Amino acid sequence: MKEKTSITLSQDVLARIDKLAGSTSSRSAFIEAVLRDYLKKRARAAIEARDLALINANAGKLNAEAEDALQYQARTWLTDADPD
């Protein structure tokens, strides 16, 4: 469901919207598409910020686990490569 609203924009912004929208899209459709994209990017950025905070909060533990796995792999590789 769509709802009618009114906004005030400067003439130069409207001119750029009209140029970008062209004759195939109305101002309203163009502005709605731009705002949907913006909101989608904001939501994605919030998720990425949350994920980054979780990774940073657990960086020490994650790094220790990676180091342990690498040391195990190195020992296994060295043992398997040793001809004695």
Query: Is 4 inside any structural domain?
Result: no
Average pLDDT over residues 16-26: 91
**Predicted local distance difference test score (pLDDT) of residue 48:** 98
Element (H, E) at 33: helix 27-57
> How many domains in the chain?
1
Give the separation between CA 35 and CA 14, rounded to whole angstroms: 15
Q: Is residue 1 part of a domain?
A: no
pLDDT in tens, 46-78: 999 999 999 999 999 999 999 999 988 887 776
Domain of 49? Answer: 11-81
| CA–CA separation, 54 and 48 (whole Å) | 10
6 assigned to some structural domain: no
Q: Is residue 2 part of a domain?
A: no
Residue 45 forms part of a structural domain:
yes
Query: Is residue 58 assigned to a domain?
Result: yes
44 pLDDT above the threshold of 80: yes
Show the tokens assigned to 11.
């003439």
Over 90: is that where the pLDDT of 45 sits?
A: yes
What is the pLDDT at residue 79? 76
The pTM of the full predicted model, rounded to 2 decimals, is 0.65
Q: Yes or no: say if 55 and 62 are a contact pair by the CB < 8 Å rule.
A: yes
